[in-house]
Amino acid sequence: MIELSIQQILDITGGRASQSLDPAGVISSVTTDSREVGAGALFVAKPGEFSDGHAFIDQALQAGAIAALAERETLTEQRQPHPAIIVPDAVEAMGLIAAHIVKFLKERNDAVVVGITGSAGKTTTKDLLAALLSTSGPTVSPIGSYNGEVGVPLTIFSATEETKYLVVEMGATGIGHLTYLTGMVKPQLGVVLCVGSAHAGEFGGVENIEKAKGELVEALPANGTALLNVEDPRVARMASRTEAEVQYFGAANQAPANAAVWASEADTDANGRLSLVLNFPDGSTHRITSGLLGRHHVTNITAAASAAYVLGLAPAQIAATLDGLQAGSRWRMERIERADGVSIINDAYNANPDSMRAALITLAELGLPNEQGVARRTWAVLGSMLELGPDSVLEHDKLGRLAVRMNIKKLVVVGREAKPAYNSAVLEGSWGEEAHYVEDLDEARQLLNEQLEPGDIVLFKSSNGAGLRFLGDEIAAEVKEGRKA
């Protein structure tokens, strides 16, 4: 982190110093988790859904924190005030500190901020772009999916004085959220991947999702660049909402108007690995084989390549970096091969109807007969897609029918919210042992340990809150270590 004095933070946030606070102290890190506190830290005591950070100030100070960023004064066991910067809203104060750091980096290094948003693919695209830009200069990007009002500042806090590129993943669950984030980091380059039905319940419909995602391009300066997915009509028409230059990425048989990087000849091999030709605006072409599974990653690859090209990286360098590059974050089409020949595909960090469909397509392709005519048995272990609102039953119903129509051999639906997927699979013609419904992860684990056979391919896919990613890890590890649960 770029070090800041307590006095600087007081000035940036407009906060009030508690009686025991030393304004001369220097902050070298910021965290919202008292377990991550080290010497020189500022502990952000934000109220949470399940716990209040103010209850952990003592623990943070004992671990080496210099002060807390708090919304009220708290006391030690000796009834003395904790050293703290008191602000009306700790999360908003984090944003003010992050904005100060971004401004400093732009003035010092001409640092470039890239904002990435979309209903799916943000984290993978962020990881790809960070890998690309790291070949050109010091780059900061989020850990995992740090993409909200807390995650974006935490990403910025990891920057150093040498940072040249800031890759910022931007998530939203309502209108105005991206406006807040863009106001904090002021991106020069904005990437919009897709508008799907993720969080439709919270947004109040897909139209509002489109409106919210477009806030990124609205925030771009006139000398900035908006990179839009030409294959998504809702994204492509965001061109009218920005003063920035607009370029398009995606897949096409010929270059679209105002093309950035576009893909042709995209295909997957028997192991699900994606190969494609990258076509660059300078007329050069480069064939790569990605380390990512599934043809839906064409969007993520061309988006990252386009951003890197706009920022001055050479096409050959971009292609060489992307060739063979795997996902940088866990639980995104993560493939693990067990010693007994069972393949695990753990894609259960997030889920919505679009990403579910893409994962099932990839699973179905992996189960097709190989050159020797041998087909692998496919399992789809599916949990709930959360935050779909009134569309939840319908979208889960569609999911079960889709699994049957794609000839997925075994369907395991986990949890009551996802049960419509099981019901629809049965109605679609999945009988007997082909479709299973289980109430929880324990039942799913027992079923899989009893029935998995060498050669099977198992997809785990659900929203984060359903927890299937942990079950996927357990199933992958149990036989890898030579044992069963």
Radius of gyration of the chain from its Cα atoms, rounded to whole angstroms: 24
Which residue matches tokens 């988790």?
A: 33
What is the biggest distance separating any 2 CA atoms in the chain, rounded to whole angstroms? 77
From CA 449, how far away is CA 340, in angstroms rounded?
A: 12
If we measure between CA atoms, which residue out of 359, 375, 372 comes closest to residue 463?
A: 359
- The answer to the question of whether 461 is labelled as a binding residue is no
Cα-based angle 184, 186, 189 (whole degrees, multiple of 5): 140
- The answer to the question of whether 122 is labelled as a binding residue is yes
- The answer to the question of whether 124 is labelled as a binding residue is yes
Q: Which residues have C-beta within 8 Å of that of residue 313, sequence separation ≥ 6? A: 132, 133, 135, 136
- The answer to the question of whether 123 is labelled as a binding residue is yes
From CA 116, how far away is CA 334, in angstroms rounded?
A: 22
Amino acid occupying residue 367: G
From CA 80, how far away is CA 266, in angstroms rounded?
A: 65
Phi-psi region of 36 (alpha: psi -120 to 50; beta: other; left: phi over 0): alpha
- The answer to the question of whether 120 is labelled as a binding residue is yes
Would you tell me how many other CB atoms lie within 10 Å of the CB of residue 130?
20
Task: Specify the DSSP class assigned to residue 326.
Answer: P
From CA 483, how far away is CA 477, in angstroms rounded?
A: 9
- The answer to the question of whether 164 is labelled as a binding residue is no
From CA 13, how far away is CA 15, in angstroms rounded?
A: 5
Task: Could you list the residues known to form a binding site for ATP, using ranges.
Answer: 118-124
Task: Could you list the residues known to form a binding site, using ranges.
Answer: 118-124
